Amino acid sequence: DAGVIQSPRHEVTEMGQEVTLRCKPISGHNSLFWYRQTMMRGLELLIYFNNNVPIDDSGMPEDRFSAKMPNASFSTLKIQPSEPRDSAVYFCASSGGEGRGTEAFFGQGTRLTVV
Amino acid sequence: GESVGLHLPTLSVQEGDNSIINCAYSNSASDYFIWYKQESGKGPQFIIDIRSNMDKRQGQRVTVLLNKTVKHLSLQIAATQPGDSAVYFCAENLWSSASKIIFGSGTRLSIRP
């Protein structure tokens, strides 16, 4: 298996533009997570899905952020409009457990820079 | 791969010595704990896990200890090698939140030759 695949690896955009980050989880995994990593706040869980359904989005910073999982093999994290403070590394992860007590496998991340 | 230059506590260890990385978790209801390693330019990578019905678990060169009384977790790395240089995170799984995995702030392990 190729692991969790994220695209793009790097994204530089201007403030106000829409940004879409993409993730392909490991085949067969039924949970998907979006994390954000910054110097100040470390690794923050933004949202996670079980069986394509958003379960907890309490970590999503504000309405500018949205995430979708239209099917078991694809998810997007969208920021509209983007702001400089959104600059961070965004990780997608997936796990294959029935719900509780299983490790998450991470992608390589997308470094987002908003100028 | 990507990572960030986090301002983290740093543990400096002589190559060949044992390393002990500590972590305090927050929720007494958590029942599953994981240690991750994040190398520069990569995403976090699973090292070892432990469930709350255990207080110790061993892997290859690594041991995790769990003290539920004081909500403390530690990772011991035997015979530390240059390749162990990384940021180490503990993570907890909140039972009431199904798959939700919450990460701690991380510790940077630096190896002296």
What confidence tens digit (pLDDT) does each residue in B36-95 have?
999 988 999 999 999 999 999 999 999 999 999 999 999 999 999 999 999 999 998 875
pLDDT digit string, tens, across residues B96-112: 555 678 888 899 999 99
A61 CB within 8 Å of a chain B CB: no
pLDDT (0 to 100) of residue B95 = 57
Q: What is the pLDDT along chain A (115 residues), one digit of tens a residue?
A: 679 999 999 999 999 999 999 999 999 898 899 999 998 888 999 999 989 999 889 999 889 999 999 999 999 999 999 999 999 999 999 987 554 557 889 999 999 999 9
Q: Does B44 touch chain A (CB under 8 A)?
A: yes
- What number of C-beta contacts closer than 8 Å exist between A and B? 87
- Secondary structure of residue B95 in the 3-state scheme: helix
Judge contact between A93 and A4, C-beta under 8 A.
yes
B-chain CB neighbours of A9 within 8 Å are: 1-2
Enumerate residues 6+ apart whose C-beta is below 8 A from A24.
A4, A5, A6, A73, A74
Asked whether the beta carbons of residue B6 and residue A39 sit closer than 8 angstroms, the reply is yes
- Could you read off the pLDDT of A47-57 as tens digits, one per residue? 999 899 998 89
Q: What are the structure tokens assigned to B43, written together?
A: 């995403």
